[in-house]
A and B are shown apart, each in its own frame.
Chain A
Amino acid sequence: MKISVQINASPYQHQTADTAWHFIQAALVSGHEVYRVFFYHDGIYNALRDSRPPGDERDIVKRWSELYRQSNIDLVVCVSSAQRRGLLEQSVAKKVGGYDKALADGFRIAGLGLLMEAVIDSDRHVTFGD
């Protein structure tokens, strides 16, 4: 089955990103396709490259990047949620003189249309939040 996931909350503040990650791992092991993970609202903070948790803690951002590397799952950060919260896509950042290296590996910034496309094309959509 084709499943899409939406993440609405920031990492560490709440269990959201952990639950979603475990859910995705289980879905992949069970042979399902995880079509896209869409980061919305404060969920965009999952994509901050410079997150540096203490060494004895899980690294949530790195875990997403590894998920992309291993499974090639489309990790999409909503552009309007991101801009509002100070996370800029590289070309936009260059244009406005903002920080252009904020986005972690494996993520891309795109419009809300990609969420809708995922919802329409998937058999199931599961939202995780706080």
Chain B
Amino acid sequence: MLFIINKNSAVIGGCIAKASADDVVLLIEDAVFAVIECGESPVMRRSDNNTAAIYALSPDMQARGVREAACHKHIKFVDYTGFVELVVNHNPVRSIF
């Protein structure tokens, strides 16, 4: 399943907690703030490593001044073309608001 999350809220943590290794979480719009490495973050990798890949939409990061260098190391970055590829490669798609 591809989760698409667009807010920097508790939804991110809840979603990552229930996502499994074959799921993918894409953070867009204001949700990209969650990937900045700072203290306790919902996107921190779980110790068991059995966790979903987390992507952030880079144009939304650039718009908000979020630099890749400031992000957690395991975060992957995609542009809109990469967003489309994630949609094509995963089913079902679930946007969470």
| A58 beta carbon closer than 8 Å to chain B | no
Stretch among A75-83, A94-102, A122-130 lining the B interface: A122-130
Minimal Cβ-Cβ distance residue in A for B90: A124
Chain A residues whose C-beta falls within 8 Å of the C-beta of B29 in the assembled complex? 15, 19
Chain B residues whose C-beta falls within 8 Å of the C-beta of A27 in the assembled complex? 84
Helix, strand, loop or mixed for chain B's interface?
A: helix
For chain A, the bracket of interface size reads 20 to 34
| A60 beta carbon closer than 8 Å to chain B | no
A19-B84 contact, Cβ under 8 Å, with A124-B93, A129-B95: no
User: By the criterion CB–CB under 8 Å, are A128 and B83 in contact?
Assistant: no
Chain A residues whose C-beta falls within 8 Å of the C-beta of B85 in the assembled complex? 30
B-side interface residues, number (CB < 8 Å): 18
Chain A residues whose C-beta falls within 8 Å of the C-beta of B6 in the assembled complex? 15, 19, 129-130
Query: Scoring A residues 88 to 107 as 1 if CB is less than 8 Å from chain B, else 0, what string do you get?
Result: 00000000000000000000
Helix, strand, loop or mixed for chain A's interface?
A: mixed
Residues 16-37 of A at the B interface (beta carbon under 8 Å) = 19, 22-23, 25-27, 29-30, 32
Minimal Cβ-Cβ distance residue in B for A9: B97
A126-B93 contact, Cβ under 8 Å, with A1-B88, A15-B29, A19-B28: yes
| A3 beta carbon closer than 8 Å to chain B | yes
Known: A3-B88, A15-B6, A15-B29. 17 other contacts (CB 8 A): A19-B28, A19-B29, A22-B59, A22-B80, A23-B84, A25-B80, A26-B84, A27-B84, A30-B85, A32-B88, A123-B91, A124-B88, A126-B4, A126-B95, A129-B6, A129-B95, A130-B6
Could you write out 27 A-B pairs with CB less than 8 Å apart? Answer: A3-B88, A15-B6, A15-B29, A19-B6, A19-B28, A19-B29, A19-B60, A22-B59, A23-B83, A25-B80, A26-B79, A26-B80, A26-B84, A30-B81, A30-B84, A32-B88, A123-B88, A124-B87, A126-B4, A126-B87, A127-B95, A128-B95, A129-B6, A129-B95, A129-B97, A130-B6, A130-B97
